[in-house]
């Protein structure tokens, strides 16, 4: 049986812990009990990591594409060998069911292999210069990267950030969420075991605001990659601006799902309901605002309520569990606030709406319907197992509701009318749009949003290029 590991930071290849460092209790969200103590970085640790990252960049920027690809492919193989252990550790610290954690790990494997292939496709271009001058445009690694990854995909978020920086030829200091450190450490360890120079990849933990101010305040860092909430993203973008640090911001969403009356409701529910309970709704691209045409509204609402009520909720390490606890105590607290506020404004609670038990951070899969637009949950990302279902008459009104909020990450729509599909593809303001599909990602596809959902992309060739800069070279 997998044991939760003891925790450390990784600075210059060394496992750093102890001394008089502050610590953070990593907790199992099923029980609320402490799994292990995490050491937090002090200023000297961060300064050391910065110096090492500078050396790491000097080494890695001169690596060959083959060397970078070999590390990424080697790490992918090690992750496959270690898959069951790592998925169990991710479940222990984050709460998601073990099969979901395993899929997440496989996504990292897919991404590392894809990024390895990209290493030899970082083409520039040659310009046409008839007078004998030779002009080329080339891609170069941007420099040391600071990456802040959240807890909801404890393996996937660090994997995305490490893979992109390493494929591009950058060094990276990763600060993953303090709530889920063991998964992040395991991904970095696989890269180090596969031959990544110790100066190139490091992991620190700390008080988030202290770490981000320290790293972004240093002229050594040239790129920030952040995934998290819009409010923290805006704060970090301001810090990054002081040193003109380039940023990739993958922030919150409020996923609209447009369901038209020409579709088979059960077909939509077959993916929308498990999509909603995936990771207890703690997914930035989670389907959230169900914008349903009035003729199918009641069937859709009742079908969603029935399916969510039947979801098997429990310890993600137990067989057959479909939804685990929420990842930390802030989430069920937020769910309770959203439900109370929506009720007060006149929304109906069709199923759920309450905590489960008095141990751990469980919350019932919940359907709220006819939710007034001024309810908090219609404007703030719920980040929980909560489906909001409202009826609409016209396509125009449905598109207007989809575009009402300043978020634009993922949007979904269901219709069999081909002309309407084209209009929706053009009109919906989002970085990723699924038409008759809730599957919107992939190692080869850019993942990112617009407006308050952030800027830049992870994954795809774009994710690697996000860690690079252009140089135009003109030779006489």
Residue 250 annotated among the catalytic residues of the structure: yes
Q: How far is the CB of 255 from ligand NAD (least distance, A)?
A: 12
119 is catalytic: no
CB of 303 to ligand NAD, least distance (A): 27
Residue number, 45 or 250, with CB nearest to ligand NAD: 250
**195 — phi, psi (to 5°)?**
110, 5
Closer by beta carbon to ligand NAD, 241 or else 425: 241
| 49-78 residues labelled b (16+ CB within 10 A) or e (exposed) | bbebbbbbbeebbebebebbbbbbbbbbeb
Question: Quick one: 216 or 424, whose CB is closer to ligand NAD?
Answer: 216
Q: How far is the CB of 71 from ligand NAD (least distance, A)?
A: 26
CB of 221: closest distance to ligand NAD in angstroms? 13
- Residue with Cβ nearer ligand NAD (303 or 449): 449
User: Encoding tokens for residue 427?
Assistant: 């009109």
Q: How far is the CB of 232 from ligand NAD (least distance, A)?
A: 4
Nearer to ligand NAD, 251 or 388 (CB): 251
Q: In angstroms, what is the minimal distance from the CB of 229 to ligand NAD? A: 3
300 or 383: whose CB is closer to ligand NAD? Answer: 383
Interaction site with ligand NAD (CB under 6 A): 148, 150-152, 177, 208-209, 212, 227-229, 232, 235-236, 250-252, 284, 330, 381, 383
Give the shortest CB-279-to-ligand NAD separation in angstroms: 10
Q: Which of 305, 388 has the CB closer to ligand NAD?
A: 388
Is there a contact between 293 and 259 (Cβ–Cβ < 8 Å)? yes
- Closer CB to ligand NAD, residue 204 or residue 291? 204
Minimum CB separation of residue 204 from ligand NAD in Å reads 11
Q: Which of these is catalytic: 119, 170, 284, 467?
A: 284
Q: Over the chain, what HEC string results?
A: CCCCCCCCEEECCEEECCCCCCEEEEECCCCCCEEEEEECCCHHHHHHHHHHHHHHHHHHCCCCHHHHHHHHHHHHHHHHHCHHHHHHHHHHHHCCCHHHHHHHHHHHHHHHHHHHHHHCCCCCEEECCCCCCEEEEEEEECCCEEEEECCCCCCHHHHHHHHHHHHHCCCEEEEECCCCHHHHHHHHHHHHHCCCCCCCEEECCCCHHHHHHHHHCCCCCCEEEEECCHHHHHHHHHHHHHCCCEEEEECCCCCEEEECCCCCHHHHHHHHHHHHHHHHHCCCCCCCEEEEEHHHHHHHHHHHHHHHHCCCECCCCCCCCCECCCCCCHHHHHHHHHHHHHHHHCCEEEECCCECCCCCCCECCEEEECCCCCCHHHCCCCCCCEEEEEEECCHHHHHHHHCCCCEECEEEEECCCHHHHHHHHHHCCCCEEEECCCCCCCCCCCECCEECCEECCECHHHHHHCCEEEEEEEEC
Q: Which of 94, 250, 380, 458 is catalytic?
A: 250
Q: Which sequence positions are flagged as catalytic?
A: 250, 284
């Amino acid at each position: 049986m997998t044991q939760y590991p003891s925790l450390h930071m990784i600075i210059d290849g060394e496992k750093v812990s102890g001394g008089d460092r502050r610590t953070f209790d990593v907790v199992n969200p099923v029980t609320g009990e402490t799994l292990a103590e995490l050491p937090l970085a002090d200023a000297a640790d961060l300064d050391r990591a910065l110096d090492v990252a500078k050396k790491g960049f000097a080494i890695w920027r001169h690596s060959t594409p083959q060397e970078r690809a070999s590390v990424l492919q080697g790490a992918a193989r090690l992750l496959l060998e270690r898959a069951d252990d790592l998925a169990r550790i991710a479940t222990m610290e984050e709460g998601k069911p073990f099969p979901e954690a395993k899929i997440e790990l496989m996504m990292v494997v897919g991404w590392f292999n894809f990024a390895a292939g990209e290493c030899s496709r970082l083409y520039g271009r040659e310009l046409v210069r008839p007078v004998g001058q030779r002009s080329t445009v080339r891609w170069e690694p941007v420099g040391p990267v600071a990456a802040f990854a959240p807890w909801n995909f404890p393996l996937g978020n660090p994997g995305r950030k490490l893979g992109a920086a390493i494929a591009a030829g950058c060094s990276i200091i990763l600060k993953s969420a303090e709530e889920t450190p063991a998964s992040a450490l395991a991904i970095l360890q696989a890269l180090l075991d596969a031959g990544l120079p110790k100066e190139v990849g490091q992991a620190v933990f700390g008080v988030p605001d202290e770490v981000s101010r320290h790293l972004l305040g240093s002229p050594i860092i040239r790129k920030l990659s952040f995934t998290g909430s819009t409010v923290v993203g805006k704060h970090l973008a301001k810090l990054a601006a002081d040193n003109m640090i380039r940023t990739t911001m993958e922030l919150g969403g409020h996923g609209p799902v447009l369901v038209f009356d020409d579709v088979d409701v059960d077909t939509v529910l077959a993916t929308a309901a498990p999509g909603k309970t995936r990771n207890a709704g703690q997914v930035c691209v989670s389907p959230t605002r169900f914008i349903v045409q009035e003729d199918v509204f009641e069937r859709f609402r009742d079908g969603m309520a029935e399916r969510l009520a039947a979801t098997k909720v429990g310890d993600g390490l137990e067989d057959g569990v479909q939804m685990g606890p929420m990842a930390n105590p802030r989430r069920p607290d937020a769910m309770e606030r959203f439900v109370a506020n929506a009720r007060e404004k006149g929304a109906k609670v069709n199923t759920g709406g309450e905590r489960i038990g008095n141990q751990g951070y469980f919350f019932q899969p919940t359907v709220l319907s006819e939710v007034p637009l001024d309810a908090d949950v219609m404007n703030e990302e719920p980040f929980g197992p909560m489906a909001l279902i409202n009826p609409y008459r016209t396509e125009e009104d449905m598109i207007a509701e989809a575009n009402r909020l300043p978020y634009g990450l993922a949007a979904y729509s269901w219709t069999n009318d081909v002309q309407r599909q084209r209009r929706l593809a053009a009109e919906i303001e989002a970085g990723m749009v699924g038409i008759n599909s809730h599957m919107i990602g992939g190692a080869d596809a850019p993942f990112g949003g617009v407006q308050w959902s952030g800027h830049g992309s992870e994954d795809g060739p774009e994710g690697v290029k996000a860690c690079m800069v252009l140089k135009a070279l003109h030779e006489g």
